[in-house]
Amino acid sequence: MSNRHRNRGISLIEVVIAFAITAILVAATMPNYHDYTVRARVAEGLRLTLPARQALVEACLADGSATVKSNADANYHYRRPPLETDFIDRIVLAADCGKKDLTVMVWMAGTGATPEPVIELTAWVPSGILSDGFEAPYGWHCRLIRGDFADVPPDCRKHYRKS
């Protein structure tokens, strides 16, 4: 075997070049990763509002003409989840059941967003469904009140209106 074909190993310059390329790729992807983790935390916070939304609907089912002005009016108390999934500062419920106007306001916390998002969830009945009570299927519109679009799930961006 000649000296030319001998395996010499990796030179220091090759290691430095590989390290530099890796550092550039990591630096380029970090902002996207941060946005992704913030959006995931906000989405988890919104998922934690399901009991609040259900309590509001149940209050209106019980009394179709009720007015909910506080969480207590809907018999709802926010129970904090474990710290690693606790991304909600507070939840405030309000409703005019007679008008089918149900609102859940959510102040996020600990998501990593600056400022922390404030999101409004409003109930809606799909068009074409006629009902006097709350038997009809309903959904929830998500609207960003305060915060950055990059920090919220896509469904909160499409119903954005400047207040």
In the block, tokens 């400047």 appear at 162
Q: What is the pLDDT of residues 111-127, one digit of tens each?
A: 999 999 999 999 887 66
Which helix (H) or strand (E) is 20 found in, with range?
A: helix 12-47
The alpha-helical segments, DSSP class H, found in 63-102 are none
pLDDT of residue 51: 93
Angle at 24 between CA 23 and CA 29, to 5 degrees: 100
| pLDDT band at 163; cut points 50, 70, 90 | very low
Residue 132: pLDDT over 90: no
Token pair recorded at residue 114: 């600056």
Among the listed residues 122, 121, 117, the one whose alpha carbon sits nearest the alpha carbon of residue 107: 117
- Going across the sheet that includes 88-96, the strands are 67-68, 88-96, 101-108, 118-124, 139-146
Q: What is the pLDDT of residues 20-50, one digit of tens each?
A: 999 998 888 777 788 889 999 999 999 999 9
Residue 19: pLDDT over 90: yes
The CATH code for residues 33-157 is 3.30.700.10
Domain boundaries, the chain: 33-157
